[in-house]
Structure 1
Amino acid sequence: MHALVIGAGPAGLMAAEVLAGSGARVVVAEAMPTPARKFLMAGKSGLNLTRAEPFADFAAHYGGSAPVLRTPPGYLQSKEIGPEAVMAWARGLGVELFTGSTGRVFPVGMKASPLLRAWLARLAGAGVELRTRWRWSGFDGDGWRLQTPGGIAVLRPQVVVLALGGASWPRLGSDAAWVPWLRERGVEVAPFRPANMGFRTAWSAQMARHFGQAVKGVALHVGGQVGRGEWVVTRHGIEGGGVYELAALMRDGAEAFVDLAPDVAAEELARRFGRAPAKLSVGNRLRRGLGDPLRAALLLEWGQPLPAEPERLAARAKALRLRHDGPMGLERAISSAGGITGASLTERLELRALPGVFAAGEMLDWEAPTGGYLLTGCLASGRLAGQGAAAYLAEARR
């Protein structure tokens, strides 16, 4: 074994592929019974691989301290780690793609499993050995201690890539158990926080009838940004892509406002409210004006006390304060913010405190919204770490 990759999610598998392509003998250790479980779960409703847009616009969606899509001069070009690279990689696996009207890129078949099967077959053909139920359990002197079905194994590879995930969806394997082991070796790890998460809401009893329904045709305004995606009213609060897109701003304290009729001018909306017969109940008047029971219910829930004048009611509906009780926890978050800080990493994602050890994926301190950005960041960081590890091996041979 030349290289050990710990974690068989998208970042780890990409690092393994790059290393194998450089001629290294690679073992991938995965704690779970099967690889890429979170990847498969995320792709159940359609695998959004990336986003077809200029690299500069694309990279603007990434935050945090760790280099993920940044391109150090003389090291990588943007075409090697951006959306074009992800699309070329998927097509190289025989997966046909299409781009939706919003720029989101999907496999024609929509599912993640065919892509993963093709990828694992190509990795096996390149000599990559996948060992499942192999869980890293810390260091043993200068060795890496792993719990395996056959007992404890201590490995001493020439180079290691860590791709253990962050702290979200721990039931799928990313439990952040690695944090104290790296901190003991001098690696700085920023605390984990939920990202791409919903927000808790203490609904009134009247909202129960709407649980599970999608909020469509609204605009969410947060911190000067606007989102038009759908989101869902659940028993716990509000969840879904339209919320996740702006969740980081809301988590960090920015107020959110909902325009319940973004395609209707305030004057026209006031006329609609004014035309509703006075004998109708308040709820029915709101439904007449907004044309949708769920949007009317949200106005009743968050807009109290409701003004009587149609003009003021329309203004309230066009800028309805979204009331919530804070973000949902890491156990329900799509991803996490925080992790290994940029100060602990070189430009090629090597740990400064542990030469020959590289890190990739959600265990780094970065975050991005769903919609293709998150997965592309994992693949890009895996490629960057794999290239850094391959370069390290090549330098060691000289």
Structure 2
Amino acid sequence: MNVVVIGGGPSGLAAAEVLSDAGCDVTVIDRMPTMGRKLLMAGRSGLNLTNVEMGPSLLGRYGAAAEWLAPALAAFSPSDMVHWAEGLGQRCFTGSSGRVFPDAMKASPLLRAWLRRLAEQGVQFRTGLRWTGWNAQGALRFDGPTGEECVTPDVTVLALGGGSWARLGSDGHWTQVLLTRGVSVAPLRPANCGFRVEWSSAFRERFAGTPLKRVTLSFGGEKSRAEAVITERGLEGGGLYALAAPLREAIERDGEVVLRIDLRPDMDVTTVAERLSRVRARESLSNRLRKALPLPPVAVGLLREAGEVPSDTGALAHQIKALPVRLVGTDTLDRAISTAGGVRQEAVDQRFMLRALPGVFVCGEMLDWEAPTGGYLLQAVMATGRAAGKGALAWGREKNRWPEPVA
């Protein structure tokens, strides 16, 4: 069976691995000069492969898409991910937060070993070709350096990613191609993204790039204790990404939202007030907060950004424990770590084959799901890629394009 996989990121390579291991003739085509560019970018600060969470706890990270993704995640679990990586010579370790990393921390050794193994299995790689859809005869169309090329495989796997970090390859152009073919696609939206705040120029100039450490962020009854970073545009960071979905939905509905920041989550409000009361009232605000708690300059700046700082000790303590920050929008889609939206569940069957286009399978971030950072993104990307590969094998056998495996 001849298979073309369009997209050389983790989901496409995972599908190619399953298909080539079964003996299919597989060609992976990508518009970028090399494979796995977004994976390499993700690994620059430490490649988070997966998370040790299992069962309902793991599925809960995928929100409304949990039931849909459950079979794929069961077939390729976090422990399977670790076994796979170690099979490529990349030993792994688990951090204190449950996140799993290769010992090398980087993506490049793993990607090199993976591409080498795929090549040994007969996978062909072609780069610099941009997929533009199908021609009237049903062949895949590509724009390349020498003009248009057309290819007619037995099976196609689409693994084109979402719409973030377009310069690495995933620019979301495929949404219009599939919509014209009658495929239901939810609009792509930022996920695991920063949010815009209308900082004063003085605050922005002084604190852009400054981290907020040991804080708790809360919104709508949900809390996230992790770092955030002040940016010129607003706020970003892991603590914010965990709340990104409800924050985004509320902003789309109401135009803006108020995020609460607990600047001293390790103290209750009574302790904060008691410590503030020990410092002489005639001290400047900065000195008072530094001596009593202590709070760094960026926290003091945030208190001032929120409006008039309360002079009453009790009121100031409550402000410190629930500082309001007004978010007026998400950062741009291209700057998001990942995207929400994509091919809707009803547009594919249980094998991730497009109902409107038999023989065409979809996986990874092209599908309409989202998850927080922490290993959950790559886990589902790989799991759906492998599931699409297995689905393509099953469909090929049903259509007598590939024989049943020999017992």
TM-score, normalization by structure 2: 0.93
- The match for 2:345 is 342
- The match for 2:176 is 180
**Residue segments in structure 2 that go unaligned for 5+ positions in a row:** 251-256
Mapping of residues 229-248 of structure 1, within 5 Å: 229-248=226-245
Mapping of residues 289-308 of structure 1, within 5 Å: 289-291=292-294, 292-302=296-306, 304-308=307-311
The structure 1 residue matched to 2:276, chosen from 273, 276, 284, is: 273
The structure 2 residue matched to 1:168, chosen from 164, 168, 187, is: 164
Q: Distance in 2 between matches of 1:112 and 1:79?
A: 24
Partner SS, residue 327 of structure 2: coil
Q: Is the CA contact 2:158–2:362 (under 8 Å) kept in the aligned structure 1?
A: yes
**Offset of 1:315 from its aligned partner?**
1.0
Q: Distance in 2 between matches of 1:189 and 1:129?
A: 30
Task: Assess, with a 3 A threshold, how the Cα gap between structure 1 residues 95 and 377 changes in structure 2: closer, same or farther.
Answer: same
1:134 aligns with 2:138: no
Q: Is the CA contact 1:67–1:347 (under 8 Å) kept in the aligned structure 2?
A: no
Q: Is the CA contact 1:69–1:81 (under 8 Å) kept in the aligned structure 2?
A: no
Q: Is the CA contact 1:67–1:342 (under 8 Å) kept in the aligned structure 2?
A: no
Q: Distance in 2 between matches of 1:384 and 1:290?
A: 52
- The match for 1:376 is 379
1:353 aligns with 2:356: yes
Q: Distance in 2 between matches of 1:373 and 1:222?
A: 21
Q: Is the CA contact 1:260–1:290 (under 8 Å) kept in the aligned structure 2?
A: no
Task: Assess, with a 3 A threshold, how the Cα gap between structure 1 residues 255 and 249 changes in structure 2: closer, same or farther.
Answer: farther
Q: Is the CA contact 2:191–2:244 (under 8 Å) kept in the aligned structure 1?
A: yes
Q: Is the CA contact 1:5–1:28 (under 8 Å) kept in the aligned structure 2?
A: yes
CA distances 1:18-62 after superposition (whole Å, capped 9, x unpaired): 111111010000000111111111110000111011222011111
- The match for 2:120 is 125
1:29 aligns with 2:26: no
Q: Which amino acid aligns with 1:298?
A: L
The structure 1 residue matched to 2:221, chosen from 221, 224, 244, is: 224
Q: Is the CA contact 1:68–1:366 (under 8 Å) kept in the aligned structure 2?
A: no
**Offset of 1:392 from its aligned partner?**
1.3
Mapping of residues 12-161 of structure 1, within 5 Å: 12-64=12-64, 69-71=69-71, 78-141=73-136, 142-161=138-157
Q: Is the CA contact 2:68–2:345 (under 8 Å) kept in the aligned structure 1?
A: no
Q: Is the CA contact 1:258–1:321 (under 8 Å) kept in the aligned structure 2?
A: yes
1:210 aligns with 2:213: no
**Offset of 1:279 from its aligned partner?**
2.4
Instruction: Count how many residue pairs are aligned between Structure 1 and Structure 2.
Output: 392
Q: Is the CA contact 1:33–1:132 (under 8 Å) kept in the aligned structure 2?
A: yes
**Offset of 1:134 from its aligned partner?**
1.6
Mapping of residues 307-326 of structure 1, within 5 Å: 307-326=310-329
**Offset of 1:135 from its aligned partner?**
1.3
Q: Is the CA contact 1:189–1:341 (under 8 Å) kept in the aligned structure 2?
A: yes
**Offset of 1:68 from its aligned partner?**
5.7
Q: Distance in 1 between matches of 2:25 and 2:273?
A: 69
- The match for 1:251 is 248
**Offset of 1:391 from its aligned partner?**
1.1
Q: Distance in 2 between matches of 1:28 and 1:111?
A: 23
Q: Which amino acid aligns with 1:344?
A: A
Q: Which amino acid aligns with 1:115?
A: L
Q: Distance in 1 between matches of 2:121 and 2:127?
A: 18
Partner SS, residue 94 of structure 1: coil
Q: Is the CA contact 1:217–1:261 (under 8 Å) kept in the aligned structure 2?
A: yes
Q: Is the CA contact 2:60–2:66 (under 8 Å) kept in the aligned structure 1?
A: no
* Segment drifting more, 266-275 vs 27-36: 266-275
Q: Which amino acid aligns with 1:301?
A: E
Q: Distance in 2 between matches of 1:173 and 1:13?
A: 15
Q: Distance in 2 between matches of 1:32 and 1:177?
A: 14
Q: Is the CA contact 2:259–2:327 (under 8 Å) kept in the aligned structure 1?
A: no
Q: Is the CA contact 2:59–2:66 (under 8 Å) kept in the aligned structure 1?
A: no
Q: Distance in 2 between matches of 1:169 and 1:286?
A: 40
- The match for 2:253 is none
* Segment drifting more, 166-175 vs 114-123: 166-175
**Offset of 1:342 from its aligned partner?**
0.5
Q: Distance in 1 between matches of 2:304 and 2:266?
A: 20
